[in-house]
Structure 1
Amino acid sequence: MAKRKRQLTEAKIERMIKEGRGQGTEKDYLPWLKIQDVPSEGRATRGVGWTTGRRHELMSDIERDYCYLLDYSDNVSDIREQFPLLPQEETLLIAEQLGIDHPRDPKTGVPIVMTTDFLVTSNERDFARTVKPQSEMEDERTIAKFEIERIYWETRHVDWGIIIDTDLPDELVRNIEWVHKEYHNEDVEALGPFTIRNLEQMLAVRLDNGEPISKACLACDERLGLELGTSLALFRHFVARKKWSVNMNERIIPTLPAKEFKVITPEYRYEAKGG
């Protein structure tokens, strides 16, 4: 298979703009960069977001983990990753005023359209965040590019900041990751409201009595004649939807009881985040 050509040209930039890259909001937003456009740092992912309902183009583990936290927040209403700093003339001028070399394609020499990892809407206000590993924070070239970014957003009166991997609460992130893919669980509609309600009530009683999660889920599967694993998937679904509450700051271990288990919404409703 032929390798994808990633060299940047002015014609390619114009084409990306015409495609709508970096434009739109929520489900209609189109990131400036897609996974296939650049070499990824770590494991690139395209997870479907709870908040936007679309697949996110996440270039590294830290971007994925930060996106989990944004998705979990009740205050966040939009997440736009790989957001372009356009028009490009602005970042070129900022770099010139700072005496910094603007990032360029190493092969063509064409100035690269700079991006901010995340532009987030929270409580009807936007903030911009760059996420990077701690290991990059002492690199002078990286810091120089951060300064271009900072000034770009400052001129727009948008709060900008840097998130490093050590800033992220690992236990919370891993718990969100564990429940994340079950947010949209097809079993909810397939099984029907009567079965879901019975499962919900039966499982909640067992968990509230301190029974280990996996044991309680297995008992419900057997009692209701469900395929093994169905109740555990729905436990994750209820937690993801925040219908049920557990201590998300301590690692959820299925062989142990659910810590600080609580039913938030006693009657199940199938709805999107913020609905």
Structure 2
Amino acid sequence: MAKRKRQITGAKIEKYIKEGRGQGIGKDYLPWLEIQDVPSDGRATRGKGWTTNRRHDFMSDLERDYFYILDFSDEVTDIREQYPLLPLEETMIIAEEIGVKHPMIPHTGEPVVMTTDFLITVGNKNVARTVKPAAELEDKRTIEKFEIERRYWESRHVDWGIITDLDIPDYFVRNIEWVHKEFHNEDVPDLGPFVINQLQSMLAKYLVEGDTIARSCLVCDEQLGLEVGTSLALFRHFIGRKIWSVNMNERIVPTLKAKDFQINESFRSVQAKGG
């Protein structure tokens, strides 16, 4: 079977634009590139965002990890990944002005649409961020492409910057990853508000008294007649929804106590939410 072509030709650019790629905001945004559109080393992933309530496409672990930080932030209101630098002619002109080669499709020499990894809305302004391993920042060709990208955003008065693995706090990200998929917890509507409120009150009491997370959750499961693991999933849900908070800069270990556990006052009367 012939290998599927992944080249982005002029015709495909028009097709992508007609499909709405690189357009829209919030849940209606479509990334210019999806994981099936580019060669992968197996690290491309997808995940549903809290902020946008849509599926996101990540081309690397580093992109996914930076996304977790953005999605957890209260200041970020929109996250658009794989954002296209259009029109194509503009980046071509920039490349010519600074005397570097514009990114091309191998074997055809046709110019390719450049993308920025993330266009982020913070408050009432947008910022653009490119994600790259620090080890690759010494590569001359990488720097040339970054300069095209930087000038593109500068002309639009949008702050642009580079995020590397050195900017990603590992414990913080791993904690967000651990609670992330429970943000939309399907047990919440099935259990109902009465059971959820009981569980919140009971579990918080044990955690405040200093019991370990795992033991507190197991006791709640037993006393409320819940399937084992339900309370732990809801613990993650409460942290993700920021109804509760713990020290996110130290790795959350269920066999240990919840460090710096507290009930957030602004969420004290807020019930958990479902999917």
Deviations 1:33-68 (A, max 9, x none): 000001235521110000000000110000000000
SS at 1:39 equivalent: coil
Match of 2:135 in 1: 135
Q: How many residues align?
A: 272
Q: What is the alpha-carbon distance in structure 1 between the residues aligned to residue 153 and residue 40 of structure 2? A: 25
Pair 1:210-2:218 in alignment:
no
Letter in 2 for 1:96: E
Match of 2:163 in 1: 163
RMSD of aligned alpha carbons: 1.2
Deviations 1:183-212 (A, max 9, x none): 000111110000000000000000001100
Match of 2:180 in 1: 180
Q: What is the alpha-carbon distance in structure 2 between the residues aligned to residue 41 and residue 166 of structure 1? A: 22
SS at 2:129 equivalent: strand
Displacement, 1:270?
4.2
Deviations 1:194-248 (A, max 9, x none): 0000000000000001100001000000100000000000000000000001000
Displacement, 1:134?
1.1
Q: What is the alpha-carbon distance in structure 1 between the residues aligned to residue 217 and residue 96 of structure 2? A: 61
Q: What is the alpha-carbon distance in structure 1 between the residues aligned to residue 10 and residue 46 of structure 2? A: 27
Q: What is the alpha-carbon distance in structure 2 between the residues aligned to residue 134 and residue 40 of structure 1? A: 20
Q: What is the alpha-carbon distance in structure 1 between the residues aligned to residue 84 and residue 176 of structure 2? A: 28
Identity %: 68
Q: How does 1:42-191 map to 2 (within 5 A)?
A: 43-191=43-191
Is the Cα–Cα contact under 8 Å of residues 7 and 107 in structure 1 kept in the other structure?
Answer: no
SS at 1:57 equivalent: strand
Deviations 1:79-126 (A, max 9, x none): 000000001110000000011000000022210000000000001110
Q: What is the alpha-carbon distance in structure 2 between the residues aligned to residue 83 and residue 198 of structure 1? A: 45
Q: What is the alpha-carbon distance in structure 2 between the residues aligned to residue 139 and residue 83 of structure 1? A: 23
5+ residue gaps, structure 2, are none
Match of 1:267 in 2: 269
Is the Cα–Cα contact under 8 Å of residues 42 and 61 in structure 1 kept in the other structure?
Answer: no
Q: What is the alpha-carbon distance in structure 1 between the residues aligned to residue 61 and residue 166 of structure 2? A: 13
Q: What is the alpha-carbon distance in structure 1 between the residues aligned to residue 100 and residue 61 of structure 2? A: 29
Letter in 1 for 2:70: L
Displacement, 1:267?
2.6
Displacement, 1:271?
5.4
Match of 1:7 in 2: 7
Q: Aligned in 2, Cα 1:48/1:2: closer, same or farther, shift over 3 Å?
A: farther
SS at 1:206 equivalent: helix
Displacement, 1:135?
1.5
Deviations 1:119-139 (A, max 9, x none): 000011100000000121110
TM-score for both structures, normalised by structure 2: 0.96
Q: What is the alpha-carbon distance in structure 1 between the residues aligned to residue 44 and residue 2 of structure 2? A: 21
TM-score for both structures, normalised by structure 1: 0.96
Match of 2:39 in 1: 39
Letter in 1 for 2:86: L
Q: What is the alpha-carbon distance in structure 2 between the residues aligned to residue 140 and residue 218 of structure 1? A: 55
